[in-house]
Chain A
Amino acid sequence: MTLGARFALGRLFERLTALAAALIVLALGVVLVDVLRDGVGVVSWRFFVDEPGAGPTEGGIFPAIFGTVALTLVMTIIVMPLGVGAALYLHEYASPTSRLAGLARAAVHHLAGVPSIVYGLFGLGFFVHALGGALDAATGQALKWAQPGLLWAACTLAVLTLPTVIVATEEALRAVPSEVRLASLALGATRAQTLGRVVLPAAAPGILTAAVLAVSRGAGEVAPVLLTGVASWLPDLPGSLSSQFMHLGFHAYVLATQSPDVDAARPALAGTVAALLVLTFLLNLVAIVLRARLRRGMEAS
Chain B
Amino acid sequence: MRELTQPAVAARPGPPSVDAQRRAARWDLLVELAVTGAGVAGIVLLLLMIVFVVREALPLVLDPVQREQASLAKLLLPQPWRDGHAPALLWNPTSKVPKVSVWPLVIGTLKVTGVALAVAAPAGVAAALFTSEFAPSRLRTWVKPTIELLAGIPSVVLGSFALMTLASALQSAFGFDFRLNALVAGLAMSLAIVPVIYTLSDDALRAVPHTYREAALALGATRWETAFRVVLPAAAPGVLGALVLGVGRAVGETMIVLMASGNAALVSANLAEPTRTVSATIAAEMGEVVMGSTHASLLFLLGAILFVFNLVLNVTAGAWVRARLARREGAPS
Touch test A–B (CB under 8 Å): yes
Question: What separation, in Å, do the CA atoms of A68 and B30 have in the docked complex?
Answer: 35
Q: Is the CB of A121 within 8 A of B152?
A: no
Given contacts A195-B31, A223-B283, contact A281 B255 (CB under 8 A): no
Nearest CB of B to A61, in Å = 14
Question: What separation, in Å, do the CA atoms of A27 and B259 have in the docked complex?
Answer: 19
Question: What separation, in Å, do the CA atoms of A120 and B155 have in the docked complex?
Answer: 16
Task: List, in ascending order, chain A residues with CB within 8 A of B300's CB.
Answer: 121, 125
Q: Is the CB of B153 within 8 A of A32?
A: yes
The contact of A120 among B34, B43, B156, B283, by CB within 8 Å, is B283
Q: Is the CB of A13 within 8 A of B307?
A: no
Nearest CB of B to A116, in Å = 6
Task: List, in ascending order, chain A residues with CB within 8 A of B147's CB.
Answer: 21, 24-25, 28
Nearest CB of A to B90, in Å = 22
Tally of B interface residues using CB under 8 Å: 90
Nearest CB of B to A103, in Å = 6
Given contacts A24-B147, A31-B191, A192-B28, contact A253 B156 (CB under 8 A): yes
The contact of B43 among A18, A88, A107, A112, by CB within 8 Å, is A107
Counting chain A residues whose Cβ lies within 8 A of the other chain, the interface size class is: 35 or more
Question: What separation, in Å, do the CA atoms of A84 and B313 have in the docked complex?
Answer: 27
Q: Is the CB of B43 within 8 A of A125?
A: no
Given contacts A21-B135, A257-B259, contact A7 B154 (CB under 8 A): no
Nearest CB of A to B268, in Å = 23
Nearest CB of B to A74, in Å = 17
Residue B134 at the chain A interface, CB threshold 8 Å:
yes
Residue B114 at the chain A interface, CB threshold 8 Å:
no
Task: List, in ascending order, chain A residues with CB within 8 A of B287's CB.
Answer: 226-227
Given contacts A20-B123, A103-B43, contact A25 B157 (CB under 8 A): no
Task: List, in ascending order, chain B residues with CB within 8 A of A253's CB.
Answer: 156, 159-160, 255, 259
The majority secondary structure among interface residues of chain B is helix
Residue A277 at the chain B interface, CB threshold 8 Å:
yes
Question: What separation, in Å, do the CA atoms of A65 and B271 have in the docked complex?
Answer: 38
Q: Is the CB of B130 within 8 A of A222?
A: no
Residue of A whose beta carbon sits closest to that of B46: A107
Task: List, in ascending order, chain A residues with CB within 8 A of B160's CB.
Answer: 35, 252-253, 256, 269, 273
Stretch of A51-59, A89-97, A174-182, A234-242 at the chain-chain interface: A89-97
Question: What separation, in Å, do the CA atoms of A193 and B253 have in the docked complex?
Answer: 43
Q: Is the CB of A28 within 8 A of B153?
A: yes
Chain B 267-301 residues near chain A, CB threshold 8 A:
279, 282-283, 286-287, 291, 299-300
Q: Is the CB of A9 within 8 A of B224?
A: yes
Q: Is the CB of B130 within 8 A of A18?
A: yes
Residue of A whose beta carbon sits closest to that of B120: A24
Question: What separation, in Å, do the CA atoms of A115 and B248 have in the docked complex?
Answer: 7
Nearest 7 A/B pairs, CB to CB: A115-B252, A85-B38, A89-B39, A10-B224, A220-B154, A20-B126, A17-B130
Task: List, in ascending order, chain A residues with CB within 8 A of B76's CB.
Answer: none
Question: What separation, in Å, do the CA atoms of A169 and B28 have in the docked complex?
Answer: 21
Task: List, in ascending order, chain B residues with CB within 8 A of A166's CB.
Answer: 42
Which of B31, B34, B279 is the most central at the interface, judged by chain A CB atoms within 10 Å of its CB?
A: B31
Question: What separation, in Å, do the CA atoms of A29 and B150 have in the docked complex?
Answer: 8
Task: List, in ascending order, chain B residues with CB within 8 A of A18's CB.
Answer: 130, 134-135
Task: List, in ascending order, chain B residues with CB within 8 A of A24's CB.
Answer: 123-124, 127, 147, 150, 194-195, 198
Given contacts A193-B24, A226-B283, contact A249 B154 (CB under 8 A): yes
Nearest CB of A to B182, in Å = 18
Chain A 58-104 residues near chain B, CB threshold 8 A:
81-86, 88-90, 92-94, 100-101, 103-104
Question: What separation, in Å, do the CA atoms of A101 and B36 have in the docked complex?
Answer: 9
Q: Is the CB of A109 within 8 A of B283?
A: no
Q: Is the CB of B222 within 8 A of A10?
A: yes
Stretch of B47-55, B79-87, B100-108 at the chain-chain interface: B47-55
Q: Give me 9 other A-B pairs in contact (C-beta within 8 A), A31-B191, A284-B151 excluded.
A: A20-B126, A86-B42, A93-B36, A118-B49, A163-B42, A195-B31, A222-B254, A252-B156, A266-B164
What mask results when residues 22 to 51 of chain A are scored 1 for a CB within 8 Å of chain B, else 0? 011101110110110000000000000000
Question: What separation, in Å, do the CA atoms of A15 and B35 have in the docked complex?
Answer: 50
Q: Could you list 19 examples of A-B contacts with CB < 8 Å?
A: A7-B222, A21-B126, A25-B143, A31-B157, A83-B38, A89-B38, A94-B39, A107-B46, A113-B310, A115-B306, A192-B32, A216-B152, A223-B255, A226-B283, A249-B154, A253-B156, A253-B259, A269-B160, A276-B157
Nearest CB of A to B259, in Å = 6
Residue A154 at the chain B interface, CB threshold 8 Å:
no
Task: List, in ascending order, chain A residues with CB within 8 A of B159's CB.
Answer: 253, 256
Question: What separation, in Å, do the CA atoms of A7 and B123 have in the docked complex?
Answer: 22
What mask results when residues 150 to 175 of chain B are scored 1 for a CB within 8 Å of chain A, else 0? 11111111111101110000000000
The contact of A115 among B27, B31, B253, by CB within 8 Å, is B253
Task: List, in ascending order, chain B residues with CB within 8 A of A283's CB.
Answer: 152
Residue A117 at the chain B interface, CB threshold 8 Å:
yes
Task: List, in ascending order, chain B residues with CB within 8 A of A103's CB.
Answer: 43
Nearest CB of B to A239, in Å = 24
Which of B24, B123, B255, B286 is the most central at the interface, judged by chain A CB atoms within 10 Å of its CB?
A: B255
What mask results when residues 111 to 141 of chain A are scored 1 for a CB within 8 Å of chain B, else 0? 1111111111110111001100000000000
Question: What separation, in Å, do the CA atoms of A174 and B194 have in the docked complex?
Answer: 28
Task: List, in ascending order, chain B residues with CB within 8 A of A277's CB.
Answer: 152-154, 157
Nearest CB of B to A169, in Å = 11
Q: Is the CB of A21 within 8 A of B310?
A: no
Q: Is the CB of A125 within 8 A of B46?
A: no
Residue B118 at the chain A interface, CB threshold 8 Å:
no
Question: What separation, in Å, do the CA atoms of A237 and B279 have in the docked complex?
Answer: 31
Question: What separation, in Å, do the CA atoms of A81 and B155 have in the docked complex?
Answer: 28
Q: Is the CB of B224 within 8 A of A85?
A: no
Q: Is the CB of A126 within 8 A of B252?
A: no
Residue B209 at the chain A interface, CB threshold 8 Å:
no
